Amino acid sequence: MRLLFAFLAGGLFGAGLFVSGMTDTAKVQGWLDVFGDWDPTLAFVMGGAIIPMAIAWRFVPGRRPLVGGDFPAQVSSQVSRNLVLGSTMFGAGWGLAGLCPGPAIASLSYGGVWHWVFAVAMLAGMALTPLLRVKLDRLIVAD
């Protein structure tokens, strides 16, 4: 049952990314080009995701998911080196390619070879980030 719900949620998420234009790299880059030909339509997509989730998280305390497990704990609001490194890598990929992980995976079925190249580069970045973090930790300790 849990796998069925995961499949349905993933399919709904992928369909939402496609319908909203989040898998269209030109649309995403238009959203990021605030000093050029800015396309504000993705603000509605983000608001359509953030606002319902902000409301839903208010009802989480004391509840359990329908299909078992636990809701994740609230994350720290502290700005850390890991947060800065991760958000920098995410932003660089999103700005350069117009894709982030969810839309990149959703676009693999129709996006052509460049979407596969991006997905491989994204996975390599995810694999290399812990190594980069260790090297940065050593540099900072050495100073």
Tell me which residue of 98, 114, 100, 110 sits closest to 24, measured CA to CA.
98
Distance between alpha carbon 51 and the CA centroid of its chain, in Å? 17
Please name the residue that has the structure tokens 């994740």.
72
Residue type, 69: G
Please name the residue that has the structure tokens 């990929």.
93
Tell me the domain boundaries of the chain.
Answer: 2-72+79-142
Q: What is the pLDDT of residues 41-96, one digit of tens each?
A: 888 888 888 999 889 888 888 888 888 788 888 777 889 888 888 888 888 888 88
pTM: 0.68
What is the CB-side half-sphere exposure of residue 70 using CA atoms within 13 A?
5
CB 25 within 8 A of CB 98: yes
